[in-house]
Structure formats: C-alpha cells, structure tokens
Amino acid sequence: MKASDLFIKALESEGVEYIFGIPGEENLDLLNSMKDSSIKLILTRHEQGAGFMAATYGRLTGKAGVCLSTLGPGATNLVTAAAYAQLGAMPMLMITGQKPIKASKQGQFQIVDVVAMMRPLTKFTHQISSASNIPARVREAMRNAEGERPGAAHLELPEDIACEETDAKVIVRSQFDIPHASDNSISATVEMIESAQHPLILIGAGANRKYACQTLTAFIKNTGIPFISTQMGKGVIDERNPLFLGNAALSANDFLHRAIEHTDLIINVGHDVVEKPPFFMEQGGFEVIHINYVTAAIDPVYYPQQGVIGDIGNSIERLTRRITPQQSWDFSRFMEVKAHLDRRLLEGIDDDRFPLYPQRLVADVRKVMPDDGIIALDNGVYKIWFARNYKAHIPNTVLLDNALATMGAGLPSAMAAKIVHPDRRVMAICGDGGFMMNSQEMETAVRLKLDLVVLILRDDAYGMIKWKQANMGFDDFGLDYGNPDFVMYANSYGANGHRVTSAGSLAPLLEMCFNIPGVHLVEVPVDYSENDRILNHEINENSRLI
C-alpha cells in the first residue's frame, strides 16, 4: 500500500471524521489518499482557523481533531492553534508536510525545523522517516493527544515518505478504562470533608471534559455543599442550581471571593493551573483537595494537601456514597454572599441605553439561547461579562478560552461546534478586534452552509486593553481603530449582515437570525465606558461591604 493511503487508513481506524486545513504541494499524496476515504476535508482560508476548528472538535468530542498544513509557512501558521489546544487541554493532531528528507530537492527553500518548533507546544511531535512506522506513530500521536491531560500532537509526513510503498498494517486503538482513585485517598478525603466547617466545591475545566455532570450534580444534591465554577468549568452543573454561588471570572475581589475567604476547605474538581487562578492558596489558609485525572501541577498559589487521582466521575460517585452531611457544616455565609451576588447580577439586564451595555447584551443572548445552545467566545473584555453573568445550563455550552486566551478563535470554534452539533443553536461572540483576526473563515462557514450567528461587539477599539489601561492608571492612548462596514462585509461573503440600532431590537433580531438558515453576522455597537467603574472598582467596593 502507498504510505499516504496507510496514513489515512490509520486515521480512519482512529475514528477521524474530518481533516481541517490547507494542503500544500508536499501534502498532495495525502490529499489524494483522502479522495476515497470516509474522512471529510474541510478546507479553510487560514491554517490558524483550521487549527482552532480541530481543537474545538477535540474539546467537544474528546477525540483528537485533525488539521493539516504544508511545511514552513503553513506549519508556522498552526503555531497559535497548537498552543491553544495544548494549554486548553483540547485533543488535536496536526499533520504537516515537508520536502523530501532522503534527497534534497530545493536547498533550504521553505524549510524550517517544524518538529523542533512544535516541541514546546505539543505533547508529542515526530517526523515520520519510514512508511513502515506510520501505524505506530499515528497511534502514539493520538494516544498522547487524547490521554489525560489532553493536548496537541504533531506528525510531519515528508513528501518522499508519503509516496513510499509499505506492507505495514494499521494498529487498532487499545481498549482501556481510566484508572480509579485508591480507597485510601477516598477515605482521607471523606474524613477531610466531614471534619471541615465550611467546605466549598470549585469546578474547573477538567470536569467539563468527560461525563462528570450527573455524578457531580448528585454529589451536590446529597451533600448540600455549595459550589463555584471557573471560566472553563462553566456548565458542568446547571448554574441555576440553588447551591451555585457564582463564577470566578475575576481573579480577586469579586463577591464570591468573600465566600472563598470564609472557606476552610476547597474541594477542587477538574481544576487546571493553566486557568487564571480562581483563588490563591496561602500558608496557614484554607486547605485544598484536588480531584482530577492527574496529580496537581504545583504552583506558588496552588499546592493541594490531598489528591484524589483517577476518573473524576468514579471518584465523585464513591465520595457521594461515603460522605454523611454534617450538622457542624455551616454554609450561612456562603448563602449570604450568593444572595448579594444574585441581586447584583440582575442589575442592567433591561438597560435600554444604546449603544448596548454588556449586562443587557448578556441577558438578551441568554434569552435566545436554549439550554443546549452553544456560545463560542473570542477574547475581549466581554468574556468577563459572559463568564460572570451568563448562566450555563449544561456542559460545554460556553466555549471560552481561559488558557491561551487568544484572540481569533471565536468564529472557528463556533463553526466546529456547529459541525459537531448541527441541531443546536450556535453563536460566535467576538470583539471587533478578535473577529478581524480570522474573519476570512466567514467564507468557509458560508461554503459549508452552516447555520450560524456571529455577533460582533463593536467598540472600534481593543477594549479589553483599554480596560486594563484604565485600571493601571494610564491615559487612554493607542488602542482605537476603524472598522469595515460589517454589514457589507458579511454580505460580500454571501452571509447575511445585520446592524443593531436600538437595545430593544437585539433579542428579536437574534431570534430571527436563528430562524433563517445561513450565516448571519450581527453588528452590535457596545458601550464599554462603565467597564472600569464596575469591574475595577464597584464590584471590589461593594463586595467588601457584605
């Protein structure tokens, strides 16, 4: 068999459904091998878009998303997506081409050492130097990408290897279960939780990866212990749950930090130090139990005293069976904090001012999204508002990146979400800055006939940096720009462009967009003038008063 055919067969055997990317001449054998394959090629307009789509496919399915590029410039364009997958623990496999390795063809033309470039950004990176090794290398790349903690893997398939003949056979996936935590660690944890006074549960990104939602919901119901979530832990448990205190969108000085100050034990489920810390450990302060698939990466502000390492669902189920709710537990302070925060979160939801204020925007988006609707956020200051104010109802319905926190991923990740869940409502939410970083993928979305709403929050500036600039006491300088006419821009792609002209028209317009097939771009002028006052000062001051 030809090596490139074997490569594609190996990917088919891994269950790969799509390859996102842009082939170059060095990938033409592989491309040709895809012609008769069950794997669908999704051609994009930039490798970064392909990488973000593959990573999000991996995030939503647990199976590595696969992307493809040529050597040199194609591969360097994948670098940000590699970091996105690696930091965000999203399983992804990148395949890049290379000039022939056995006989040089064109000197050093277009050649960079892609394997070395990918090393700090991946769990596994390898140049295939013999066709007979393809089955093992593909398997190993997938094992690395998908195994806990998931991340990026990379394989380079040089042009002369891709057309070799080989009689090697595909290696099928190994069957295994994720190991379970030891009885000792479960017993020690039960003891710690039962003897705490004010235990508090924190749910992080890892709990969104596998199916921990039902067991965690039962754990919280049976124990009555209140919980908070990190940005990437949103939705593991329905945030309308009466024991949900709030989201750690801000690192410090929010209402829920009053609860964190009061706890003596944090039960930290699925946390990952890559997320902005939702709390800071201090010597002599509260203790932390780390419940996760892998042991905690230690950091100056994170050094849990107890680990429960193994399948999260299994650990939680066993803890639920073993823990007896204690008379001595006292959650009154937590519930006081919740009452204050809940009241504050209602402020501004019907604010009629225009351009729109973020609180109204978040409330209106929530109104048009069903429980299973997915919002995919790019990076900008609105991410804080959505993390804090948007209540997620089910797992993986708020796709935000609190790991690499890159701009430019909102649109591609929404597209991947729509491909994985064609029957659900999906909305990309982007700043005018982040959207423009990968806006060329509008063409891909239109070509794929995706039903998608792309919300652009227009402040004609890098608003998030303006907000930080104000917070640090600097003058307003150097962060404003102009924009294309987004309505005409969308229309030129064959999408449908819309502009919001009053606060009251946003929700009905979004509803209409979801009812008309196709890609809809909705430009929403936003007023960020209160971000500094509210996020930097008011929350801090008000939370100190409770």
Ligand X SMILES: Cc1ncc(C[n+]2csc(CCOP(=O)(O)OP(=O)(O)O)c2C)c(N)n1
Q: Which among 135-143, 309-317, 405-413, 502-510 is the span making contact with ligand X, rule CB under 6 A? A: 405-413
Pair 483, 434: CB distance under 8 Å: no
For ligand X, give the closer residue by CB, 9 or 458.
458
We find the least distance from the C-beta atom of residue 467 to Mg ion, in angstroms, to be 10
For ligand X, give the closer residue by CB, 199 or 434.
434
Binding mask 372-401 for ligand X (x = CB under 6 A): ------xxxxx-------------------
For ligand X, give the closer residue by CB, 176 or 477.
477
We find the least distance from the C-beta atom of residue 510 to ligand X, in angstroms, to be 18
Q: Is 523 in the site for ligand X (CB under 6 A)?
A: no
Helical spans, DSSP H, in 323-403: 332-345, 358-368, 382-389
Q: Is 362 in the site for ligand X (CB under 6 A)?
A: no
What is the SS3 assignment for 231?
helix
- Partner from ligand X, Mg ion, none contacting 382, C-beta within 5 to 8 A by type: ligand X
Q: Which of 427, 454, 395, 407 is nearest to 59 (CA)?
A: 395
For ligand X, give the closer residue by CB, 349 or 405.
405
Instruction: Look up residue 533 and give its amino acid.
Output: R
Cα–Cα distance between 160 and 155 in angstroms, integer? Answer: 15
Q: Which among 31-39, 276-284, 441-449, 454-462 is the span making contact with ligand X, rule CB under 6 A? A: 454-462
Q: Which of 214, 463, 197 is nearest to 326 (CA)?
A: 197
For ligand X, give the closer residue by CB, 272 or 432.
432
Q: Which among 24-32, 59-67, 336-344, 432-440 is the span making contact with ligand X, rule CB under 6 A? A: 432-440
Q: Among residues 123, 431, 513, 514, which is the contact residue for ligand X, using CB under 6 A?
A: 431
Cα–Cα distance between 474 and 167 in angstroms, integer? Answer: 66
Q: Which two tokens stand for residue 65?
A: 């998303």
Q: Is 459 in the site for ligand X (CB under 6 A)?
A: yes
For ligand X, give the closer residue by CB, 236 or 456.
456
Q: Among residues 42, 82, 356, 407, which is the contact residue for ligand X, using CB under 6 A?
A: 407
Please state the φ and ψ torsions of residue 357, each to the nearest 5 degrees.
-95, 150
Q: Is 28 in the site for ligand X (CB under 6 A)?
A: no
Pair 369, 427: CB distance under 8 Å: yes
Instruction: Tell me the residue number closest to ligand X, measured at CB.
Output: 431
We find the least distance from the C-beta atom of residue 382 to ligand X, in angstroms, to be 5
Contact residues toward Mg ion (CB under 5 A) are: 431-433, 459, 463
Cα–Cα distance between 152 and 64 in angstroms, integer? Answer: 8
Q: Is 26 in the site for ligand X (CB under 6 A)?
A: no
Q: Which of 424, 422, 326 is nearest to 373 (CA)?
A: 424
- DSSP letter assigned to residue 493: T
Identify the bridge partners of residue 218 per DSSP, sorted by sequence position: none
CA 140-143-144 angle, 5° bins? 90
Q: Is 461 in the site for ligand X (CB under 6 A)?
A: yes
We find the least distance from the C-beta atom of residue 410 to ligand X, in angstroms, to be 8
- Partner from Mg ion, ligand X, none contacting 159, C-beta within 5 to 8 A by type: none
Q: Is 151 in the site for ligand X (CB under 6 A)?
A: no
Q: Which residue has the tokens 């002209």?
A: 501
For Mg ion, give the closer residue by CB, 310 or 431.
431
Cα–Cα distance between 245 and 255 in angstroms, integer? Answer: 9
Pair 38, 204: CB distance under 8 Å: no
Tell me the residue ranges of DSSP E strands in 49-108. Answer: 65-69, 92-98
Q: Among residues 49, 51, 246, 434, which is the contact residue for ligand X, using CB under 6 A?
A: 434
Cross-sheet strand order for the sheet of 18-21: 40-43, 18-21, 65-69, 92-98, 152-158, 124-127
- Partner from ligand X, Mg ion, none contacting 341, C-beta within 5 to 8 A by type: none
Helical spans, DSSP H, in 233-328: 255-262, 312-322
Q: Is 84 in the site for ligand X (CB under 6 A)?
A: no
For Mg ion, give the closer residue by CB, 254 or 459.
459
Identify the bridge partners of residue 93 per DSSP, sorted by sequence position: 66, 153
Q: Which residues contact ligand X by CB under 6 A?
A: 378-382, 405-408, 431-434, 457, 459, 461-465
